[in-house]
């Protein structure tokens, strides 16, 4: 069964990834050398000459402004120093020619377990979902494996940073991780990381970007998603639709109890705050409570996973009551809660656009039109894949939403500047502007679409290796005799 | 569109065993990615009597034909999903035994599964419905067309050769083993095999039996021909299916991941004298592409899923590209009701990963799966004489920005986005009406003091 | 005592045990089924005309066929053999007390005539005012101009309507609670066992490894052998107007063979009208069995069940062939191994297959054609859907429609949207009978676990409110089930010669205010308990262990 048409020569894509775009030294000019030498000698930032360069001949998409054709970007010590059409490369600086390619800010995935989970079916390789009901003191950052194969795989598709959560956020709400029976309300502190670094300290963008709260839910049908039959070898009966025999009244009671429990915990934290501030004698430090302080002070938002309208509404009430800031993860029912969220300026992280509708009778494109609905409601949102394996495709998530009503520029914002703003890092990232980090991607087309090749990815001005486990295997087996 | 609408429209056609004669359409001025010798060009398609009657820059426009002006739109052959588990009632796995070749997906077709409609909305016109992967040798499989609104018989892709599912690797050895955590499996209910070695043994044992079974039947038939009066052997459904494999009457679709098990199955097939038709998932197919090609099997894989299981850890998105380079016919499949709706963009990724041409990329979800399923004479390309299974997109079908506008199967329109969107309000209204009627009835019953029904 | 017995010996067997059964046996007037009035004791062999059991009055033991004037069974008093005493407050019975024997049962009237009643014969035109005469447990005459025999006990039918006794087309009444429960696998209800269904499941049996293990198969089991006359639901059924039922063992894939029984009798043999009328087949493990496989063994998925059934029928053909060959000449041939599962299947003249959704109707009709077995489909929840009726047309497959109409789930999450499909089903399910009637598909109704008269009546009324004419509703619970199970020559309508099973109501059957006044079974009258038809509060659930009266 040989193929009819001849196989195309390999790796035109591959060739592109290996990047013809090489750094070139500027033409040597004595003066330039001297200037460079002086620069090196005198400047304090001599340490990383690699993250200083001048990128030219690019169509730059700053995101926060209109596209600049034939522009250049000057990066020094990993920061964007200048952007514009008429820039001139300073002497002695590494010049990179983009050959007319496009340059965008690196994409941001606001929902992952990158570094915390390697093979999702194998518990030993997964470090999310600790035991315990209230675990605010847990920090995702320190458990991140800088050599996780996922980082390289995701990064080469142009994602430069991500939020890694201490517990999965799938199906929205109700706590309890994979295989965990007991409920977990507060899973710990989610971190924002760059997808490259020698250590997690290197990778750290925001050590505690948010406190993850799994809001209770009344279990109806399961969440969205087809569910690959292959991923669930235990699914031997096909669709044992959950939902036990308990009545709604019973479920509602449990639900209310769970919310009460969360409130109790927060009240206890406030009490601790009081005692802490008053320097009460005999005051003992409690790590859990200490971890709650920034939340109560409004410095750290709660990332609240809540899918259905009821949970979202109650989460909003909860936030009001406890005077805390929240971000809602994976909300559905935008048509029902949009107005409320907008009124309170509560941002959301939208889950997979490509998702099956929740109910049999729902519109077939319910998932795809979700972002447009959020946009129309005036709710600020960013995208999250909530799936390490899918993270590389976050761009596709955004563009698909554009097919179903979301303006394309909004789609791009939702994976760049909006995310940075929601997580409080917009001064450093999310767009191509002076003063921000040089988290940049160079690509031959729309980075949110399927066929685009990402040529180079810079993180803090460092040209990251366009290499990962998969490319290594690709190369190897391409060469098999 | 919900069953109430389309079902009403197609109810008459539904019960006719053969295809209903399709309508006559002319799709005009579209960019046609024909996947055939004409390649990609701007032109028109004439659909008549369920077939593609004409394809070209211009086509005949018979009187009474419905003209679809597809200016600025794209037309592709209907997408074929080579690995799907939708549209089945009562479980897709007979996981109680390691060799379940006696069961048949054909017996459980559920034409009311909403997944069928959603697949249509994603451009899928046919799907290979497989038994699950719980067993080394699973059950019999069938190819369906997504003829939403027809009955079970009406969904069957008539003429498509039936298949059988094998499964290698973690799933069959995990199933039913306490160690693997099969649900409900007590330690006393460990099911063999628990290792890849055992998987091979299970398959070999089954085929050894099948060979003996076939020999008995051959002997019987030979004796019959010579007029001898002999008693036939007992017909055993399990072995009968494997006999069909040996005789080339039933395709083998083998779920597999690791290179070692792929090779293992090829060698079994060689030993027993049958062919694997397709390797499914085959995520490490790139490592043994040479052997797969030499055997003549096709590869049906994912675009870029990986790392969800240990055996998927070496998966690479260049898998399809490499296999194709070695001469394997490759397709992309979904194995998932959600992914099924986006096979067009999965195909688009093949341009990025490895550098297939656009036509090659699209072939992985149209022409190639048709070849793999042996129905390439009927579907997979837009060429005159083939079934009118056609999809119209509003934008480049390989791009995320595109939506399916219309889907034809056998020249009948089974999906129309405009109709779907405009019908939503009516469906909501109907539901409200029923809900209110029920409520008023319940209220009046209460008033009558009838006391409601007691729980039975 | 014994002398007195001899005096009345023409009514009783000489070896009848005095009050040998239940200890609470009272003289006539008490618990009606305590005494073997008029019948041979259960110690007798059921020999028809066996000398052992020959009675001085020449009557054979009670295993007689319900004698169509058979001499064997003709009693000098003309009564059928298994007639029960009218144990309850039956005034006229008191008048029949024999001389000097208040302790003994009143004799059964030789003949009963209901006169001046409205008579719905079902087989013919309704008689506005007529008379029906019963004798020997059979209908002797019916019409608007029928003479009342001199010896007949008269029941004044003014204001009353007489219908053929209702027939439940698919039932577990009389099978006892253990059989009624839809528990896990395992055998049909054990005799007299009140064990919960779970205990009957197969914890000891290893999980089946394939069709050869004959999983969940008890095809040889006959409902006729499992009848428990003390099943409390029988009495409830009579209050609802039922006089017979087609009862099946229902646990397992090949659950066993059903039987047409009368809903009154001291012992099982009295009740059985036809011992074997078909094989009950199901395609699920019933109740809690998990999904496809795992611990429970083969089969675990729907396709597994279907494959198993298919294999059984292939094995039946093979088995028949081998047996025939062996019969012809055993010498030199290995004998075919006895397979009682196959024997049971072979004994079954028709099969019952489940089908609720129209998809299942299509599926089972195809399957039935493949198996080449006369088939009845049961369930038929989507009978209203034209796709059900379209598939059924011309297939010669009658259907049994469950009266258990789908109801809204209580305590639902109000935020949870129900599907259009579910709403439609609830709205239209009760119109299935009307739709089937309109499409000309032969069908009967069955109670499907509804035991309370009020619930059954309401369910039928709902069908009528949804388009089923009353006469069609009546037929669906009388002549139609009789036809479907091949007993229409003796049951199901008020015609001369048929079994005297009647229900007498005040008011039209199935109306809310209608009362079932009495039923006749084999020509013997039964009166429902006072509150039986009046919407008894707090349903006595069938789970309470049945008092076994022996």
C135 in the same domain as C74: no
Q: Give the model's pLDDT for residue B191.
A: 86
C-alpha span between C223 and C62 (Å, rounded): 20
A102-105 and A95-97 strand pairing: unpaired
What residues are paired with A192 via a beta bridge?
Answer: A163, A206
Establish if C518 belongs to a structural domain.
yes
Q: What is the pLDDT of residue B446?
A: 83
pLDDT for residue B448: 76
Distance spanning both ends of chain B, measured CA to CA: 36
Domains of chain A listed by start with CATH number = 14-105+431-481 (2.30.40.10), 107-429 (3.20.20.140)
Global pTM exceeds 0.90: no
Q: Is residue C90 located within the same domain as residue C128?
A: no
> In 3D, which of B340, B447, B336, B358 has the Cα closest to residue B32?
B358
Q: What angle do CA A139, A142, A146 make, to 5 degrees?
A: 140
**Same domain for C159 and C84:** no
What is the three-class DSSP state of A430?
Answer: coil
Whether pLDDT at C56 is above 90: no
CB atoms A220 and C416 under 8 Å: yes
Q: Measured between CA atoms, how close is A401 to chain C, in angstroms?
A: 25
State whether C118 and C40 are in the same domain. Answer: no
Question: DSSP readout, A68-82?
Answer: EEEEEEEEETTEEEE
Mutation site for B-interface testing, chosen from C202, C236, C293 by largest number of B Cβ within 10 Å: C293
Q: What is the predicted pLDDT for the residue at C296?
A: 74
pLDDT in tens, C493-534: 999 999 999 999 999 999 999 999 999 999 999 998 776 554
User: Measured in Å, how far apart are chain C's first and last C-alpha atoms?
Assistant: 23
Residue B344: strand, helix, or coil:
helix
Phi–psi pair at C126, nearest 5 degrees: -70, 140
Does residue C293 sit at the B interface (CB-CB below 8 Å)?
yes
Contact with chain C for residue B186, Cβ under 8 A:
yes
Neighbours of C487 (CB within 10 A): 20
Task: Give the SS3 label for residue B319.
Answer: helix
Mean pLDDT score of chain A: 85
In whole angstroms, what is the distance from residue B278 CA to residue C28 CA?
80
Q: Is position C427 within any domain?
A: no
Which positions ≥6 away from A122 have C-beta within 8 Å?
B309, B310
Tokens at residue A281, please? 């004698």
Q: Does B360 touch chain A (CB under 8 A)?
A: yes
**pLDDT tops 70 at residue B112:** yes
Q: A272-281, C199-208, C368-377: which range is least confident on average?
A: C199-208
Tens-place pLDDT, residues C211-249: 999 999 999 999 999 999 999 999 999 999 999 999 999
Minimum Cα–Cα distance from C304: chain A residue: A237
In this predicted structure, what is the pLDDT of residue B176? 60
The last residue of one of the domains, among C104, C127, C153, is C104
Residues C30 and C65 in one domain: yes
pLDDT band at B449 (very low <50, low <70, confident <90, very high): low
A341-350 average pLDDT score? 97
At residue C90, the pLDDT reads 47
Is B142 in contact with B129 (CB distance < 8 Å)? Answer: yes
* Cα Rg of chain C, angstroms: 24
Is C544 inside any structural domain?
A: yes
Give the pLDDT score at C184.
34
Three-state DSSP class for residue C318: helix
Looking at residue C167, what is its pLDDT?
A: 98
Quick one: chain C helix, strand, coil %, rounded to 5?
25, 20, 55
Q: Is residue C519 part of a domain?
A: yes
Looking at the fold, whether C62 and C155 belong to one and the same domain comes out as no
Q: Is residue C441 part of a domain?
A: no
- Among residues B92, B149, B158, B156, the alpha carbon closest in space to that of B120 is found at B149
Instruction: For residue C518, give its domain range.
Output: 105-164+495-550
CB nearest B338 (choices: A355, A404, A480): A355
Whether pLDDT at A352 is above 80:
yes
Question: Could you give the maximum distance between any two Cα atoms of chain A, in Å?
Answer: 84
Query: Which chain B residues are closer than 8 Å to C291 by Cβ?
Result: 91, 93
Whole-angstrom CA distances from A349 to A92, A346, B167, C232 are 43, 10, 38, 61
Strand arrangement of the beta sheet that strand A348-350 belongs to: A107-112, A159-164, A186-194, A204-214, A302-305, A326-329, A348-350, A381-383
pLDDT above 60 for B450: no
The verdict on C408 touching A (C-beta cutoff 8 Å) is no
Q: Does residue C49 share a domain with residue C87? A: yes
Sign of CA dihedral A167, A173, A174, A179: negative
Q: Binning pLDDT at 50, 70 and 90, where does residue A63 land?
A: very high
For residue B110, pLDDT over 70 is answered with yes
Q: What is the DSSP letter of C121?
A: -
Mean pLDDT for all residues in chain B: 91
Beta bridge partners of residue A206, listed in sequence order: A192
Residue C115 lies in a domain: yes
Q: Could you report the per-residue pLDDT of B244-293, keeping only the tens digit for each?
A: 999 999 999 999 999 999 999 999 999 999 999 999 999 999 999 999 99
Report the CATH superfamily, name and number, of domain B1-78+380-422. Answer: Urease, subunit C, domain 1 (2.30.40.10)
Q: Judge contact between C401 and C375, C-beta under 8 A.
A: no
Q: Where are the beta strands (DSSP E) in B353-437?
A: 390-393, 404-409, 412-416
- Chosen for mutation from C287, C413, C420, C424 (greatest number of chain A CBs closer than 10 Å) is C413
Q: Given CA atoms A456, A459, A461, A463 in this order, what sign does their dihedral have?
A: negative
Average pLDDT over residues C427-444: 97
Query: How far is Cα B320 from Cα B299, in angstroms, rounded to an integer?
Result: 8
Q: What is the pLDDT of residues A1-47, one digit of tens each?
A: 444 443 343 333 323 333 333 443 444 445 555 545 554 444 433 33
The pLDDT-based confidence of B228 (bands split at 50, 70, 90) is: confident
The pLDDT score that the predictor gives to residue B82 is 98
Q: Per residue in B400-438, pLDDT tens?
A: 999 999 999 999 999 999 999 999 999 999 999 999 999
Residue A91 has pLDDT above 80, yes or no: yes
Of C294, C411, C414, the CB nearest to A236: C294
Chain A contact probe: residue of C207, C293, C294, C415 with most A CBs at under 10 A: C415
Distances (CA, A) of C427 to B41, B436, C385, C390, C449: 52, 11, 12, 20, 21
Q: pLDDT tier at B190 (50, 70, 90 boundaries)?
A: confident
If one counts every other C-beta atom within 10 angstroms of the C-beta of residue C337, the result is: 8
Neighbours of B454 (CB within 10 A): 14
Predicted confidence at residue B4, as pLDDT, reads 46
Sign of the C-alpha dihedral, residues B100, B104, B105, B111?
Answer: negative
CB of C295 within 8 Å of a chain A CB? The answer is no
Coil, strand, or helix at residue A220? coil
Name the nearest CA neighbour of A26 among A51, A49, A54: A54
The total domain count for chain C is 2
Instruction: Judge whether B93 and A234 are in contact, CB under 8 Å.
Output: no
Q: In this complex, do C292 and A249 lie within 8 Å of one another by their Cβ atoms?
A: no
CATH number assigned to the domain with residue range B79-379, chosen from the 4 options 3.40.50.2020, 3.30.465.10, 3.20.20.140, 3.40.50.970: 3.20.20.140
Q: Percent of chain C, pLDDT > 90?
A: 64
Mean pLDDT of B100-104: 97
- Given a contact cutoff of 8 angstroms between Cβ atoms, the answer to whether A8 and A462 are in contact is no
Q: Do A218 and C412 touch (CB under 8 A)?
A: no
Does residue C347 lie in a domain region? Answer: no
A100-155 pLDDT, tens digit each = 999 999 999 999 999 999 999 999 999 999 999 999 999 999 999 999 999 999 99
Tens of pLDDT along C270-314? Answer: 999 999 999 999 998 753 333 444 457 899 999 999 999 999 999
- Provide the CB-side half-sphere exposure for B348 (13 A, CA): 20
Which residue, C88, C104, C120, sits at the end of a domain? Answer: C104
pLDDT one-digit tens code per residue, C165-191? 999 999 999 987 655 444 333 333 333
Q: What is the mean pLDDT of residues B56-69?
A: 95
Q: What tens digit of pLDDT does each residue of C86-107 get?
A: 444 444 554 444 444 445 567 8
How do the domains of chain B map onto residue ranges? Answer: 1-78+380-422, 79-379
C132's tokens: 């029906």
Given this model, what pLDDT does residue C158 score?
95
Scanning A352-391 for CB atoms below 8 A from B yields: 354-357, 360-361, 363-365, 388-389
In this structure, the number of other CB atoms found within 10 A of the CB of residue A282 comes to 5
């Amino acid at each position: 069964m040989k193929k009819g048409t001849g196989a195309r020569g390999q790796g035109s894509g591959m060739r592109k990834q290996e990047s013809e775009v090489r750094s070139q030294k500027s033409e040597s000019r004595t003066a330039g050398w001297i200037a460079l030498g002086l620069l090196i000698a005198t400047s304090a930032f001599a340490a990383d000459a690699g993250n200083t360069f001048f990128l030219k001949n690019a169509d730059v998409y700053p995101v926060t402004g209109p596209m600049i054709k034939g522009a250049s970007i000057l990066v020094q010590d990993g920061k964007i120093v200048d952007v514009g059409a008429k820039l001139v490369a300073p002497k002695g600086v590494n010049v990179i020619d983009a050959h007319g390619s496009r340059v965008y800010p690196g994409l941001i995935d606001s929902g992952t377990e990158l570094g915390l989970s390697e093979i999702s079916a194998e518990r030993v390789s997964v470090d999310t979902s600790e035991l315990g009901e209230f675990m605010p003191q847990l920090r995702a950052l320190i458990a991140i494996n800088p050599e996780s194969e996922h980082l390289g795989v995701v990064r080469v598709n142009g994602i430069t940073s991500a939020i890694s959560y201490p517990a999965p956020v799938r199906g929205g709400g109700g706590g309890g991780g994979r295989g965990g029976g007991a409920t977990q309300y507060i899973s710990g502190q989610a971190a924002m990381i760059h997808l490259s670094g020698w250590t997690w300290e290197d990778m750290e963008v925001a050590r505690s970007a948010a406190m993850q709260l799994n809001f209770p839910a009344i279990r109806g049908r399961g969440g969205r998603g087809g569910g690959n039959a292959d991923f669930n070898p235990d699914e031997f009966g096909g669709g044992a639709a959950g939902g036990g025999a308990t009545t709604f009244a019973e479920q509602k009671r449990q639900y209310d109890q769970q919310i009460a429990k969360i409130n109790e915990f927060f009240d206890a934290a406030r009490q601790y705050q009081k005692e802490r501030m008053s320097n009460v004698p005999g005051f003992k430090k409690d790590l859990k409570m200490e971890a709650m302080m920034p939340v109560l002070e409004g410095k750290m938002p709660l990332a609240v996973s809540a899918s259905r309208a009821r949970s979202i509404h109650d989460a909003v009430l909860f936030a009001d009551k406890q005077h805390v800031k929240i971000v809602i993860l994976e909300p559905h029912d935008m048509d029902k809660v949009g107005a409320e969220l907008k009124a309170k300026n509560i941002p959301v992280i939208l889950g997979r656009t490509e998702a099956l509708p929740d109910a049999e009778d729902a519109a077939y494109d319910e998932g795809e039109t979700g972002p447009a609905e959020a946009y129309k409601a005036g709710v600020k949102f960013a995208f999250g894949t909530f799936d390490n394996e899918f993270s590389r495709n976050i761009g596709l998530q955004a563009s698909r939403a554009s097919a179903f009503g979301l303006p394309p520029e909004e789609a791009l914002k939702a994976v760049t500047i909006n995310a940075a703003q929601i997580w409080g890092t917009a001064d450093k990232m999310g767009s191509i502007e002076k003063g921000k980090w040089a988290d940049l991607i160079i690509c031959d087309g729309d980075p949110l679409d399927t066929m685009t090749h990402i040529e180079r990815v810079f993180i803090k001005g460092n040209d990251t290796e366009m290499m990962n486990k998969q490319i290594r295997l690709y190369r190897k087996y391409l060469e098999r005799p | 569109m919900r069953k109430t609408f389309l079902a009403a429209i197609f109810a008459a056609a539904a019960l006719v065993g053969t295809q209903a004669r399709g309508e006559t359409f002319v799709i005009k001025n579209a960019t046609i990615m024909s996947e055939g010798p004409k390649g990609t060009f701007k032109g028109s398609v004439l659909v008549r009597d369920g077939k593609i009657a004409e394809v070209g820059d211009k086509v005949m426009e018979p009187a009474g034909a419905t003209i679809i002006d597809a200016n600025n739109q794209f037309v592709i052959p209907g997408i074929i999903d080579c690995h799907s588990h939708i549209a089945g009632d009562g479980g897709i796995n007979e996981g109680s035994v390691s060799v379940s070749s006696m069961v048949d997906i054909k017996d459980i077709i559920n034409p009311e599964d909403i997944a069928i409609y959603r697949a249509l909305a994603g451009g899928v016109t046919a799907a290979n419905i497989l038994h699950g992967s719980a067993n080394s040798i699973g059950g019999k499989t069938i190819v369906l067309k997504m003829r939403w609104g027809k009955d079970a018989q009406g969904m069957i892709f008539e003429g498509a050769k039936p298949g059988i599912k094998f499964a290698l690797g973690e799933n069959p050895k995990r199933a039913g083993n306490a160690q693997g955590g099969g649900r409900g499996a007590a330690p006393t209910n460990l099911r063999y095999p628990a290792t890849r070695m055992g998987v091979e043994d299970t398959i070999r044992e089954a085929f050894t039996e099948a060979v003996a079974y076939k020999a008995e039947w051959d002997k019987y038939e030979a004796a019959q021909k010579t007029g001898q009066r002999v008693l036939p052997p007992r017909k055993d459904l399990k072995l009968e299916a494997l006999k069909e494999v040996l005789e080339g009457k039933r395709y083998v679709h083998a779920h597999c991941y690791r290179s070692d098990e792929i090779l293992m199955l090829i060698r079994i097939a060689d030993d027993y004298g049958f062919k694997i038709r397709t390797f499914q998932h085959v995520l490490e197919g790139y490592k043994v592409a040479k052997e797969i090609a030499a055997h003549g099997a096709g590869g049906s894989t994912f675009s870029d899923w990986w790392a969800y299981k240990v055996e998927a850890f070496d998966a690479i998105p260049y898998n399809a590209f490499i296999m194709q380079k070695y001469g394997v016919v490759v397709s992309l499949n979904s194995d998932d009701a959600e992914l099924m709706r986006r096979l067009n963009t999965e195909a688009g990724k093949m341009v990025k990963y490895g550098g297939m041409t656009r036509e090659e990329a699209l072939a992985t979800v149209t022409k190639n799966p048709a070849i793999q399923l042996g129905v390439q004479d009927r579907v997979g390309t837009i060429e005159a004489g083939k079934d009118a299974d056609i999809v119209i997109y509003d934008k480049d079908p390989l791009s995320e920005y595109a939506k399916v506008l219309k889907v034809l199967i056998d020249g009948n329109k089974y999906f129309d986005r405009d109709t779907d969107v405009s019908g939503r309000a009516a469906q909501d209204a109907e539901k409200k009406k029923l809900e209110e009627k029920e409520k008023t009835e319940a209220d009046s019953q209460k008033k009558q003091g009838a006391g409601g029904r007691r729980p039975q | 005592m014994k002398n007195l017995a001899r005096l009345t010996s023409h009514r009783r067997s000489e070896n009848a045990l005095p009050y040998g059964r239940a200890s609470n046996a009272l003289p006539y007037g008490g618990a009606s089924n305590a005494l073997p009035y008029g019948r041979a004791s259960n110690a007798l062999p059921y020999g028809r005309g066996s000398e052992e059991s020959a009675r001085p009055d020449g009557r054979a033991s009670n295993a007689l066929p319900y004698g169509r004037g058979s001499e064997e069974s003709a009693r000098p008093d003309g009564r059928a053999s298994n007639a029960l005493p009218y144990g309850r407050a039956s005034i006229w019975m008191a008048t029949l007390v024999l001389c000097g024997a208040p302790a003994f049962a009143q004799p059964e009237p030789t003949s009963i005539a209901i006169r001046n009643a409205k008579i719905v014969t079902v087989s013919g035109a309704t008689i506005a005012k007529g008379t029906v005469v019963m004798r020997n447990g059979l209908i002797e005459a019916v019409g608007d101009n029928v003479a009342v025999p001199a010896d007949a006990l008269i029941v004044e039918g003014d204001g009353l309507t007489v219908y053929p006794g209702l027939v439940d087309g698919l039932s577990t009444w009389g099978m006892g609670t253990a059989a009624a429960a839809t528990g896990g696998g395992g055998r049909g209800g054990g005799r007299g066992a009140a064990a919960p269904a779970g205990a009957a499941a197969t914890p000891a049996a290893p999980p089946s490894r394939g069709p050869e293990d004959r999983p969940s198969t008890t095809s040889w089991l006959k409902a006729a052998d499992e009848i428990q006359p003390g099943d409390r639901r029988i009495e409830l059924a009579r209050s609802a107007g039922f006089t017979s039922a087609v009862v099946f063992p229902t646990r397992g894939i090949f659950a066993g063979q059903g039987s047409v029984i009368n809903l009154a009798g001291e012992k099982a043999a009295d009740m059985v009208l036809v011992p074997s009328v078909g094989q009950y087949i199901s395609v699920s493990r019933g109740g809690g069995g998990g999904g496809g496989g795992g611990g429970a063994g083969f089969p675990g998925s729907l396709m597994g069940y279907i494959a198993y059934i298919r294999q059984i029928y292939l094995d039946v053909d093979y088995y028949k062939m081998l047996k025939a060959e062996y019969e012809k000449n055993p010498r030199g041939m290995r004998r075919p191994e006895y397979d009682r599962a196959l024997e049971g299947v072979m004994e079954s003249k028709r099969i019952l297959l489940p089908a609720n959704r129209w998809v299942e109707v299509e599926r089972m009709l195809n399957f039935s054609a493949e198996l080449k077995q006369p088939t009845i489909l049961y369930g038929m929840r989507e009978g209203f859907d034209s796709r059900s009726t379209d598939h059924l047309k011309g297939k010669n497959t009658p259907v049994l429609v469950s009266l258990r109409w789908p109801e809204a789930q209580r305590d639902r999450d109000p935020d949870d949207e129900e599907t259009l499909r579910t709403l439609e089903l609830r709205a239209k399910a009760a119109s299935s009978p009307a739709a089937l009637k309109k499409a000309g598909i032969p069908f009967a109704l069955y109670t499907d676990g509804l035991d309370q008269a009020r619930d059954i009546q309401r369910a039928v009324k709902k069908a009528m409110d949804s388009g089923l004419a009353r006469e069609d509703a009546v037929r669906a619970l009388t002549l139609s089930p009789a036809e479907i199970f091949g007993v229409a020559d003796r049951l199901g309508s008020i015609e001369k010669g048929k079994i005297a099973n009647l229900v007498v109501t005040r008011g039209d059957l199935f109306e809310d205010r209608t009362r079932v006044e009495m039923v006749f079974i084999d020509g013997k009258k039964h009166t429902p308990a006072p509150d039986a038809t009046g919407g008894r509060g707090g349903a006595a659930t069938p789970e309470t262990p049945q008092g076994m009266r022996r």
